[in-house]
Protein backbone atom coordinates (compact mmCIF):
# COMPACT_ATOMS: atom_id res chain seq x y z
CA UNK A 1 0.00 0.00 0.00
CA UNK A 2 2.83 2.41 0.82
CA UNK A 3 4.54 1.66 -2.50
CA UNK A 4 1.36 2.40 -4.45
CA UNK A 5 0.84 5.66 -2.52
CA UNK A 6 4.49 6.65 -3.04
CA UNK A 7 4.27 5.88 -6.78
CA UNK A 8 1.06 7.90 -7.08
CA UNK A 9 2.70 10.82 -5.29
CA UNK A 10 5.73 10.69 -7.60
CA UNK A 11 3.55 10.59 -10.72
CA UNK A 12 1.45 13.51 -9.48
CA UNK A 13 4.58 15.54 -8.66
CA UNK A 14 6.09 14.81 -12.08
CA UNK A 15 2.85 15.87 -13.78
CA UNK A 16 2.71 19.10 -11.79
CA UNK A 17 6.35 19.87 -12.63
CA UNK A 18 5.71 19.24 -16.33
CA UNK A 19 2.67 21.52 -16.21
CA UNK A 20 4.71 24.23 -14.52
CA UNK A 21 7.40 23.98 -17.20
CA UNK A 22 4.80 24.25 -19.96
CA UNK A 23 3.17 27.22 -18.28
CA UNK A 24 6.43 29.12 -17.88
CA UNK A 25 7.57 28.24 -21.40
CA UNK A 26 4.67 30.06 -23.08
CA UNK A 27 5.62 33.28 -24.85
CA UNK A 28 4.42 36.52 -23.31
CA UNK A 29 2.04 37.08 -26.21
CA UNK A 30 0.14 33.93 -25.24
CA UNK A 31 -0.37 35.09 -21.66
CA UNK A 32 -4.03 35.30 -20.66
CA UNK A 33 -5.52 38.71 -19.99
CA UNK A 34 -6.10 38.80 -16.24
CA UNK A 35 -8.59 41.67 -16.60
CA UNK A 36 -10.65 41.09 -19.76
CA UNK A 37 -13.64 43.11 -20.88
CA UNK A 38 -17.01 41.66 -19.84
CA UNK A 39 -20.51 42.12 -21.23
CA UNK A 40 -22.04 45.01 -19.30
CA UNK A 41 -25.57 43.66 -19.66
CA UNK A 42 -26.94 46.81 -21.28
CA UNK A 43 -27.08 48.41 -24.71
CA UNK A 44 -26.13 51.90 -25.80
CA UNK A 45 -27.37 53.60 -28.94
CA UNK A 46 -24.36 53.05 -31.17
CA UNK A 47 -24.42 53.68 -34.89
CA UNK A 48 -26.66 51.26 -36.78
CA UNK A 49 -23.67 49.32 -38.13
CA UNK A 50 -22.80 48.01 -34.67
CA UNK A 51 -25.55 46.11 -32.82
CA UNK A 52 -23.11 44.76 -30.16
CA UNK A 53 -23.90 45.31 -26.45
CA UNK A 54 -21.68 47.49 -24.29
CA UNK A 55 -18.75 45.90 -22.42
CA UNK A 56 -17.04 46.99 -19.21
CA UNK A 57 -13.28 47.14 -19.81
CA UNK A 58 -10.94 47.86 -16.88
CA UNK A 59 -8.91 50.88 -17.91
CA UNK A 60 -6.27 53.22 -16.48
CA UNK A 61 -4.44 56.41 -17.40
CA UNK A 62 -0.88 57.42 -16.52
CA UNK A 63 -1.60 61.00 -17.62
CA UNK A 64 -1.27 63.69 -14.97
CA UNK A 65 -4.96 64.60 -15.37
CA UNK A 66 -6.02 60.92 -15.11
CA UNK A 67 -8.16 61.14 -18.25
CA UNK A 68 -8.25 58.97 -21.38
CA UNK A 69 -8.45 60.74 -24.76
CA UNK A 70 -11.18 59.63 -27.20
CA UNK A 71 -10.05 60.13 -30.81
CA UNK A 72 -12.10 60.83 -33.95
CA UNK A 73 -10.50 57.86 -35.80
CA UNK A 74 -8.54 54.78 -34.64
CA UNK A 75 -5.40 56.88 -35.10
CA UNK A 76 -3.62 58.97 -32.46
CA UNK A 77 -2.90 61.71 -35.02
CA UNK A 78 -6.64 62.35 -35.52
CA UNK A 79 -8.44 64.98 -33.47
CA UNK A 80 -9.50 64.33 -29.89
CA UNK A 81 -13.31 64.30 -29.65
CA UNK A 82 -13.45 64.20 -25.87
CA UNK A 83 -12.19 62.32 -22.83
CA UNK A 84 -13.13 59.62 -20.37
CA UNK A 85 -12.67 61.52 -17.14
CA UNK A 86 -12.42 58.59 -14.71
CA UNK A 87 -10.85 55.13 -14.96
CA UNK A 88 -11.29 51.79 -13.21
CA UNK A 89 -12.82 48.32 -13.39
CA UNK A 90 -16.45 49.16 -14.24
CA UNK A 91 -16.16 52.84 -14.95
CA UNK A 92 -16.13 52.98 -18.77
CA UNK A 93 -17.92 50.89 -21.37
CA UNK A 94 -16.83 50.07 -24.88
CA UNK A 95 -18.72 48.61 -27.85
CA UNK A 96 -16.16 46.82 -30.04
CA UNK A 97 -12.62 47.19 -31.37
CA UNK A 98 -10.94 48.16 -34.67
CA UNK A 99 -7.32 47.79 -35.79
CA UNK A 100 -5.58 51.14 -36.20
CA UNK A 101 -2.30 52.95 -35.76
CA UNK A 102 0.02 51.88 -32.96
CA UNK A 103 0.07 54.14 -29.92
CA UNK A 104 3.06 54.13 -27.53
CA UNK A 105 2.54 55.11 -23.90
CA UNK A 106 5.53 54.64 -21.63
CA UNK A 107 6.75 51.07 -22.21
CA UNK A 108 3.38 49.96 -23.56
CA UNK A 109 2.04 49.99 -27.12
CA UNK A 110 -1.05 48.78 -28.94
CA UNK A 111 -2.68 49.01 -32.36
CA UNK A 112 -6.19 47.98 -31.24
CA UNK A 113 -8.77 50.74 -30.73
CA UNK A 114 -12.04 50.43 -28.78
CA UNK A 115 -15.18 52.28 -29.87
CA UNK A 116 -16.92 54.24 -27.11
CA UNK A 117 -18.63 57.48 -26.19
CA UNK A 118 -16.61 60.23 -24.54
CA UNK A 119 -18.01 61.86 -21.41
CA UNK A 120 -19.13 64.82 -23.58
CA UNK A 121 -21.40 62.52 -25.67
CA UNK A 122 -19.14 62.28 -28.72
CA UNK A 123 -18.43 58.83 -30.21
CA UNK A 124 -14.81 57.91 -30.89
CA UNK A 125 -11.92 55.55 -30.28
CA UNK A 126 -9.69 54.76 -27.29
CA UNK A 127 -6.45 52.88 -27.82
CA UNK A 128 -6.34 49.63 -25.84
CA UNK A 129 -3.00 50.66 -24.38
CA UNK A 130 -5.27 52.27 -21.77
CA UNK A 131 -6.82 48.87 -20.91
CA UNK A 132 -5.58 46.97 -17.85
CA UNK A 133 -4.15 43.48 -18.41
CA UNK A 134 -3.01 41.89 -21.65
CA UNK A 135 0.22 42.40 -23.52
CA UNK A 136 1.57 44.80 -26.09
CA UNK A 137 -0.34 44.76 -29.40
CA UNK A 138 -2.98 42.37 -28.03
CA UNK A 139 -6.62 43.30 -28.36
CA UNK A 140 -8.76 42.48 -25.35
CA UNK A 141 -10.29 39.01 -25.92
CA UNK A 142 -13.52 39.99 -24.14
CA UNK A 143 -14.33 42.85 -26.53
CA UNK A 144 -15.77 41.80 -29.91
CA UNK A 145 -14.37 43.15 -33.17
CA UNK A 146 -16.37 45.92 -34.84
CA UNK A 147 -18.14 45.01 -38.09
CA UNK A 148 -16.07 45.84 -41.16
Closest CA to 37 of 57, 7, 16, 66: 57
Strands of 55-56's sheet in order across = 38-39, 55-56, 93-94
Phi and psi at 129, nearest 5°, equal -65, -20
Going from the C-alpha of 33 to that of each of 39, 57, 60, 120, the distances in angstroms are: 15, 11, 15, 30
What are the extents of the domains in the chain? 1-30, 35-130
Q: Output the pLDDT for position 61.
A: 94
Q: What is the pLDDT of residues 89-148, one digit of tens each?
A: 889 999 999 999 999 998 999 999 999 999 999 999 999 999 999 899 999 999 999 987
Going from the C-alpha of 143 to that of each of 2, 6, 24, the distances in angstroms are: 52, 47, 26
Closest CA to 71 of 146, 124, 128: 124
Q: With cut-offs at 50, 70 and 90, classify the pLDDT of residue 6.
A: very low
CA dihedral (40, 46, 50, 52) in degrees, to 10, reads 10
Q: What is the pLDDT of residues 57-68, one digit of tens each?
A: 999 999 899 999
pTM: 0.74
Q: Output the pLDDT for position 40.
A: 86
Per-residue pLDDT for 52 more than 90? no
**DSSP state at residue 90:** T
Amino acid sequence: MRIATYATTLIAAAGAAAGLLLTTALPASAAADAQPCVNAGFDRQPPAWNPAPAHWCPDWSPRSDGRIPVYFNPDHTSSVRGHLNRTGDRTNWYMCWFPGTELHLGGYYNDAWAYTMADNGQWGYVNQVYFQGGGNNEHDPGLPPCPS
